[in-house]
Every structure is written in structure tokens, then in C-alpha cells.
Chain A
Amino acid sequence: DAMVIQNPRYQVTQFGKPVTLSCSQTLNHNVMYWYQQKSSQAPKLLFHYYDKDFNNEADTPDNFQSRRPNTSFCFLDIRSPGLGDAAMYLCATSRERGWGTDTQYFGPGTRLTVL
């Protein structure tokens, strides 16, 4: 089945130690998104790639970066994780064709713990 895959499902890192979360998709969608969801809160968009174009949300901290080496893969890099960055990180994809509205498909998420 076509899907959005996130690895690992659980990640533990130390305060200040860089960490990378990965997302892959078999849907061949041209847009990939990263959301942050803290405990008991709604998902919050960090940034997205529309094809190769990176689009950052205005309030996303500089500590968060992203890479998309090809259509299928997208990475979330946290350069110096703080305790406040502990959250579920959700990857999503959609196929945007320049018109209409397209559904976003979410992966299962990676739960990040910062010690």
C-alpha cells in the first residue's frame, strides 16, 4: 500500500545533541510537510516543501531545518534540541496540482524525547 513512513517511531536524544528525523513516501506526492505536536496540543506546521521549494512558517525557530534530497524523502533536522522540543513530529504529503484542494496524508509520527 502506498503510504507515508516515518523512522524511527521513537527517538531519544540529549539536550543540545543534533538529531535527524526521516520521512519517506511512496505516494509520489510533490508536497511534503513537517508538523510539531506537543502533548495535548494540536499539530502545528513547521515548514513544507513544494516540489524543491522550501517554505518556512514565520514562527518556526531557526533550530529547525529540513532537507529534501528527492521526491520520496524529507528530513527534519533539529540542530540543538532543547527540553521544549520534546514532541511528536508528524510528516505529511499531498499532491498539489496548482488548483483545487488536495488531501494531506500523514505518517504515524516520531515521538522525540530530549533528556
Chain B
Amino acid sequence: DAKTTQPPSMDCAEGRAANLPCNHSTISGNEYVYWYRQIHSQGPQYIIHGLKNNETNEMASLIITEDRKSSTLILPHATLRDTAVYYCIVRGLNTGTASKLTFGTGTRLQVML
């Protein structure tokens, strides 16, 4: 699976959009971009994933560049409860074996009043 690069930390004011970048310049054509987050002392939580089209769900939006070498996770109206470590993970297509997650160092997002 391709390696990802994320900033170690970011701050965001409550109510504002949080834009978390991720670089994955070695991503291959059949690899997906996944985002998970981990609130302190809890297990990781799935947020969203995509292949090449932009995706949106009730938690966030995922914007993937046309060349797929980078992506941005957008939390449209960050709240204090969004304070967490956010992991961007590139994962290959499952071909009959388990699709394992390789976590990088992630971005620690601090949402402030």
C-alpha cells in the first residue's frame, strides 16, 4: 500500500471548516483513500473513503485531486468533539484476502473555542 504524509498537527476554531490534507504521491490505480479518526482513549472510527471521485457523507467530505496524489478531508463545521487524531490511509482493493490498514502518524486536530 502507498505511503501517506500528513501534517502532525492542526488547529481549527469551533464552527469553522477543518481541512486536513494528505499526500499519497505513490498511490496506484486500484488503491483507495480512507480516513479514520481516533478520539483520545477510544478505538479508531471510520469517516469516509474514495477512489477518485469526491465523496460526502454525514460526517465529512473527501476531495481527491485529479492526479490522485493528494486528498483533503473536510469537516464542514468543526466542534469540540471533533478533536482527535485523523489518519489518512491508502488501501488496495480486496482480492480475496483481508484489506489490512497500515496507520501512519496522522494529524492531531485540536478544535478550539
Contacts and interface: CB of A to CB of B under 8 A. Distances in A.
Contacts of A99: 93-96
Contacts of B104: 42
Name the prevailing secondary structure of the B interface residues. Answer: loop
Interface in A47-95: 48, 50, 55, 88, 90, 92, 94
Contacts of B99: 94, 96, 101-102, 104
Contacts of A108: 42-43
Q: What is the size category of the interface that chain B forms with chain A?
A: 20 to 34
Given A42-B106, A96-B98, A101 B87 contact: no
A51 to B, nearest CB: 10
B42 A94 contact: no
A44 interface: yes
The bracket for how many chain A residues form the interface is 20 to 34
B42 A50 contact: no
B94 A104 contact: no
A70 B44 CA distance: 24
A45 B102 CA distance: 7
Given A42-B106, A45-B100, A45-B102, A90 B94 contact: no
Given A42-B105, A101-B99, A109 B42 contact: yes
A96 B95 CA distance: 9
| Centre residue among A50, A55, A104, A108 by max chain B CB count within 10 A | A104
Given A104-B101, A108-B43, A109-B42, A98 B94 contact: yes
Given A42-B106, A103-B49, A106-B45, 7 more contacts: A33-B98, A43-B38, A45-B102, A55-B97, A97-B94, A101-B34, A102-B99
16 contacts: A33-B98, A33-B100, A42-B87, A42-B106, A44-B103, A45-B102, A48-B100, A92-B43, A96-B94, A96-B99, A98-B96, A100-B94, A102-B94, A103-B46, A104-B46, A105-B46
